[in-house]
Amino acid sequence: MLKVLYSLKLKRFISIFSIWFRAVRPEFFTASVIPIILGSVIAWHGSGDFNWFYFILTLLGGLFIHAGLDLANDYFDHTSGVDKINQNYNQFSGGSRMIQNDILSAKKVLFGSIICFALGIAIGLFLDYILPGHFILIIGLIGVFLAFFYSAEPLRLGYTSLGEITCGLGFGPIMVLGSYYVQTGRLAWEPLWVSFPVGILIALVLYINEFPDYDSDKQGNKRTLVVVLGKRKAIRLYPFFLILTYLLIISSVFIGITPYISLISLLTIPLAFQAIRLAMRNFDKIAELLPVNRITIIIHLSTGLLLIGSYLLDKIILR
């Protein structure tokens, strides 16, 4: 009897865990993992010291805040009615659909968001307590503020043309600088400069995901940059910021901020050309644009990993 009860409880736990796991959309967690690892590796590259305990705490804190952001976004997109009227949702945009499919109630999603934010804040407060100064407290508060009010009233930054900037800052400079500071206890120009390419790329992931949501966003008064500019004008910014990303990487090497081997991150340029070609051709076609959404995610992940790898190789082999 005890074995049967234990088995039932285990199955129920697995079922509940699976639901919440899908709700937080872990497939997008690379947006947090990449900048946190990058900032930590840059710190190790410069100092030779690496605190695994601090790193794990930083990673967990960042993931909790990210999960809180995703759940809050689902809740507030539900209350605004945007997700309800969105008939073009896909694996890249339109939310987790947990509320719309009656898998989780709106109140449970909001509660889950608050719990995730609370856990992330608790980790941040602990790191701020054990580290010198209060930079982690300051940057952490900014990060949580941007994450929550990305979709929460009264600011709803994601409902304005500031959505991409908010996303780029949160998953770029804030996470890279924060993780660097955790390892070193100081600030530097190098992690800030290197954070711009990954920040721009994750903002582009959000940006290209807004094209399939154009009609529902416009109907729901969600004034994203794509809605404000219109699809035809908005798509012109996509190649511009991809090119800017690579120019930042190249310039960082030639002005001596990053090691020469960081140029290996330019290996993703062929993917960028493919994405630009498909985007310019299919910006107003939902199904045909989905490969661009996928490629943009791959470019962000691959470029980030290559930047991380370049610092590891420079430290281990070339120095």
**CATH code of 45's domain:** 1.10.600
Q: Is residue 5 part of a domain?
A: no
Does 237 score more than 60 pLDDT? yes
**Helix, strand, coil share (%) of the chain residues, nearest 5:** 80, 0, 20
What value does the mean pLDDT take over residues 1-26? 81
Q: Is residue 20 part of a domain?
A: no
Q: Is residue 16 part of a domain?
A: no
pLDDT at 4: 62
Q: Is residue 186 part of a domain?
A: yes
CA dist 74 and 28 (Å) reads 14
What value does the mean pLDDT take over residues 305-319? 91
Q: Is residue 233 part of a domain?
A: yes
Task: Provide the mean pLDDT of the chain.
Answer: 94
**Plot region of 179 (φ>0 → left; ψ -120 to 50 → alpha; else → beta):** alpha
Return the percentage of the chain with pLDDT > 70, whole number.
97
Residue of 203, 279, 246, 259 whose CA lies nearest to 45:
259
Confidence of residue 69 (pLDDT cuts 50, 70, 90): very high
173, 192 in Cβ contact below 8 A? yes
CA dist 250 and 256 (Å) reads 10
Does 177 score more than 90 pLDDT? yes
Place of tokens 């497939």: 27
> Count of domains in the chain?
1
Token pair for residue 115?
């719990």
Q: Is residue 22 part of a domain?
A: no
Does 97 score more than 70 pLDDT? yes
Q: Is residue 18 part of a domain?
A: no
What domain range includes position 60?
A: 29-318
Confidence of residue 93 (pLDDT cuts 50, 70, 90): confident
Q: What is the pLDDT of residues 100-113, one digit of tens each?
A: 999 999 999 999 99
Q: Is residue 195 part of a domain?
A: yes
Place of tokens 């840059």: 42
Does 281 score more than 90 pLDDT? yes
Confidence of residue 272 (pLDDT cuts 50, 70, 90): very high
Read off the DSSP letter of residue 316. I
